[in-house]
Amino acid sequence: MAGYTPLKTISLKQHSSYNEAWLQQVIADDPSVLKLGSLIVKDRERTHRGGGRLDMLLQDEDGTGRYEVELQLGATDESHIIRTIEYWDRERKMYPTYEHTAVLVAEDITSRFLNVIGLFNGHIPLMALQLTAVETAGGVGLIFTRVLDTVPLGLVDEDEPVSEITNRAYWEQTRSTPAMVSIADKVFGMCRSLAPNLVQTFKKNYIGFALDNNAFNFAVCKPRPQSMTLEIKLPQSPETDAQLSATDLDVLTYNRHFGMYRISLADSDLEKHRVLLTALLKQAFETRA
C-alpha cells in the first residue's frame, strides 16, 4: 500500500543497548512523553527511608500535584505494584500538601494485573501506562498508553456532616484576604441564577455551595493571600481546553484526582470573561444535578 510503513516494535528488556536507565533519561529530558500534562522532574532514584528507591518523582509545573513513577521493563509483577503503592504512600505522608498520584509504567501490563490494580483504584489514585518501543531508522520511539486512569474523587470535605464549618472571618483573616474572598463572592453571584436556593458555604479547605441543605459542589473557590483559584468540576475535554486556551485566563493544571478545571482569577477576569465562566459553571451545575 502506497505510503504505508509497518512499525517494528521491540522489547527494551531484551535489548542490549536500551535499558531502564536509558528510559529514565528519556523521560527526564522530556516528561511530556508520558502525556500527563506539564511536568518537571523533582528527583530520580529517590532514596526512601526503610528501603528502596523511587525511580522518578515528577511534579506539575504549578506545584499542585506530584507523581510517584515506577518503571518496569518487560511485564509488571506483584513486587512492582507493591513498590509503586509503597512509594506513593510514603511520599503523601511526608508531603501531605501535594496531590499525589502513583504511576506504574511497564512494557506489558496483563489483564490479570489490571484487575488487581483496579481493586485499588478509587481508594488509591493509581495510573498504569503501557510502554511500546518502536524501532526506526533514527533510533527508538516510545509510545505511552494510559490503560488505567485514576477515578475522580470527592472533595476532601465533601462529607458535610463531619467536615469542619468555618465562616467568612476565618477566610478573610486566616486563610486569605477580604479582596480575594470578594472574588469568591462574585463567583457566587454569577451562580445565583442557576438555582434560587443555592447558598455559599465556608469550609476549612474551600468555599463551596449547598443546595437544599446538602453539599452541591459543582465548583469551589480557594482564596489565598495573593490569589483566588476557581475550580470547576467538569470532565477534561478538548473542547473545554480549547475554549480556555483561547483566552488570557491563568489556567492551572487540570486536577485529575477530583476532575476539576482550575483557574487563577483576578477581579478583572470576572467581567472580561463572564460569558465563558458562566457557561462553564452552568455546564458543571447541570452535570452535577
Q: Are 135 and 236 in a shared domain?
A: no
Query: Higher pLDDT residue, 114 or 176?
Result: 176
Q: Are 212 and 257 in a shared domain?
A: yes
Query: Higher pLDDT residue, 268 or 163?
Result: 268
Q: What is the grid cell recorded at 209?
A: 455551595
Query: Which range of residues forms the domain containing residue 266?
Result: 168-288
Query: Higher pLDDT residue, 167 or 119?
Result: 167
Q: What is the grid cell recorded at 68?
A: 510517584
pLDDT at 212: 87
pLDDT in tens, 251-288: 988 887 778 899 999 999 999 999 999 999 999 999 88
Q: Are 174 and 65 in a shared domain?
A: no
| pLDDT value at 187 more than 70 | yes
pTM above 0.75, yes or no: no
Q: Are 95 and 140 in a shared domain?
A: yes
Nearest to 12 by CA among 30, 1, 27: 27
Q: Which helix (H) or strand (E) holds 204?
A: none
CA distance 167 to 216: 18
102-111, 196-205, 238-247: range with lowest mean pLDDT: 102-111
pLDDT at 253: 82
Which CATH number goes with the domain that contains 43? 3.40.1350.10
Give DSSP secondary structure letters for 155-181.
PTT--TTTSPB--HHHIIIIIS-HHHH
Q: Are 281 and 196 in a shared domain?
A: yes
What is the pLDDT confidence band of residue 122, given thresholds at 50, 70 and 90? low
Task: Give me the amino acid identity at 73.
Answer: L
Q: Are 63 and 130 in a shared domain?
A: yes
Nearest to 20 by CA among 83, 107, 82, 88: 107
Radius of gyration of the chain from Cα atoms? 22
Would 162 be classed as within a structural domain?
no
Domain finish residue from 115, 148, 181: 148
- Provide CB contacts within 8 A for 186, sequence distance 6+: 267, 270
pLDDT at 151: 57
Q: Are 107 and 212 in a shared domain?
A: no
Q: Are 141 and 219 in a shared domain?
A: no
Query: Higher pLDDT residue, 123 or 163?
Result: 123
Domain count, the chain: 2
What is the pLDDT confidence band of residue 145, given thresholds at 50, 70 and 90? confident
| pLDDT value at 86 more than 60 | yes
CA distance 92 to 68: 10
